[in-house]
Amino acid sequence: MAEITASLVKELRERTGAGMMECKKALTENNGDIDAAAEWLRKSGLAKADKKASRVAAEGRVAVAQNGGKAVLVEINSETDFVAKDGNFVAFTDAVAQAALASGAADVEALKAVKLASGETVEESRAAAISKLGENIQIRRMVVIDSANNVAAYVHGGKIGVLVEVKGGDADLARGIAMHVAAMNPPYNKAADVPAEFVAKEKEIELAKMSDKDKAKPAEILEKIISGKIAKIVNEVTLYGQPYVLNSDQTVEQAVKAAGADVVGFQRLVVGEGIEKVVEDYAAEVAKAMQV
């Protein structure tokens, strides 16, 4: 049996990021062979990843990478905000975003097989991150824009990410629109994009809210009243209809048209959106533990 020295353990820790005792065990199991020990730890990490996969991961980070008109956002989840801010997690998410940009992967499943600069695949690196950070980590979603138009990528606080494609205008306009989308979250781009079903439902609701006196008005007047209310609602749910956050005296449409531009489309990701979070009662948990 080869001697397991402190320097050997230290070297393996630096290479893998695993804990001291895990590194010592890996070296012992592999007769001091550091390469075999590193592989053993990687496989161990995959096993740990499988065990943690069922745990809810609703925190995390949106990472961004861009090169000219090609930009990508990747949402990567962790279980806690504490881990989401950890330097190792941030480095992992940035590496994944860069890999997504460089590889041209079309979706998350394809992205998992992409190799990082370290030589590991994204999936292998994810498993290693789980082993190191002790939480379930999931690569949940990615969106890409690849265009000859102006493309802006904006991430707010690591939690909200936006990609915007603008035909005409300049980079500052595209970034401003991206910031607006991050802040105001318009469901649709323009009035023409609003589904007819949505408009019909809103008309039904507005009509139900009207008094009997208003409902008794001539049909053409009633239609004009309803149309005005619907126009206001459509403005509220469309990018073009909203007051521009960088200049509330203008709508986004007015700002865009003044620049001789047109917003082709946008993508918006919010960390944990749609995931049901588990609310922990730590006081009850501690009290229960003390009774054991």
DSSP assignment letter at 72: E
Give ranges for CATH 3.30.479.20 in the chain.
53-146
Which residue pairs, CB below 8 angstroms and at least 24 apart, start in 171-177? 173/255, 173/256, 173/259, 173/261, 174/150, 176/244, 176/246, 176/255, 177/152, 177/239, 177/252, 177/256, 177/263, 177/266
Q: How confident is the model at residue 284 (pLDDT cuts 50, 70, 90)?
A: low
3-class SS of residue 115: strand
- Per-residue confidence at 24, pLDDT binned at 50, 70, 90? confident
The pLDDT, as a whole number, for residue 47 is 55
Least confident among 14-18, 81-85, 126-130, 225-229: 14-18
The two tokens of residue 156 are 């707010």
Q: Return the pLDDT at 4.
A: 87
Reported as a pLDDT band with limits 50, 70 and 90, residue 292 is: very low
Give residues with Cβ within 8 angstroms of 96, minimum separation 6. Answer: 63, 74, 76, 111, 116, 122, 125, 139
One-character DSSP codes across 177-211: HHHHHHHH--SBSSGGGS-HHHHHHHHHHHHHHS-
Q: Which CATH architecture has domain 53-146?
A: 2-Layer Sandwich (3.30)
> Collapsing DSSP states into helix, strand and coil, what is residue 110?
helix
CA pair distance 214, 165, nearest whole angstrom: 43
Domain spanning 6-52: CATH 3.40.640.10: no
What would the two tokens of residue 136 be? 């379930």
Q: Give the residue range(s) of CATH 1.10.8.10 domains in the chain.
A: 6-52
- Is pLDDT at 15 greater than 80 in this prediction? no
Q: What's the pLDDT band for 48 if we cut at 50, 70, 90?
A: low
Lowest-pLDDT choice from 9-18, 240-249, 264-273, 279-288: 279-288
**Residue 185 in this model has a pLDDT that exceeds 90:** yes
Mean pLDDT calculated for residue range 51-79: 91
Q: Which of 18-22, 88-92, 250-254, 286-290 has the weakest average pLDDT? A: 286-290
- At residue 47, the 3 state secondary structure works out as helix
Cβ burial 265-275 (10 Å sphere, 16+ → b, else e)? ebbbbebbeee
